[in-house]
Amino acid sequence: MWNVEYDPLAVPPSTTQFINIPASMWWGIVTLCTVGYGDMFPVTIAGRAIAGVTMLCGLALFGILTSVIGRALMASLFGEEKEPEPQVIYLDAPSDDPAPVLSGLERLVVLRSAGALNEDEFERAKAQVLATGA
């Protein structure tokens, strides 16, 4: 920011608040932490662009930090919430499946009760199973 805002060769002398690197670093910390005291602000277009990016990075930094800390706190208070494994129902079960193989009609009834098949699909599949004798 100091490179963009401060011009030591300007006539008349530059009136910016970014007179040295430590002052510019102070502005960066204040802006990144979203405090924004207002004691220093950029006046050039490039300085304002850098300020906008710095502000957005500060928001993103604290948003991500809040999310990480919140998730860790929730996990420590309430334990990890594991999502249940989805139930897979095969119409044609693989031969290495250790679960008992249901008959074709029983599998269709299970799929319909799980909401995977509507009535029309169930009737078509039932007719197909009865036609093939599976």
Predicted confidence (pLDDT) per residue in 6-60, tens digit:
888 887 777 888 888 899 999 999 998 878 888 889 988 999 999 999 999 999 9
pTM score above 0.85: no
The CA distance from 54 to 72, in Å, is 27
The CA distance from 75 to 18, in Å, is 44
Which CATH topology does 2-78 take?
Helix Hairpins (1.10.287)
State residue 111's pLDDT score: 84
State residue 101's pLDDT score: 40
The CA distance from 110 to 104, in Å, is 10
CATH 1.10.287.70 domain range(s) in the chain: 2-78
State residue 69's pLDDT score: 96
The pLDDT of residue 65 is above 90: yes
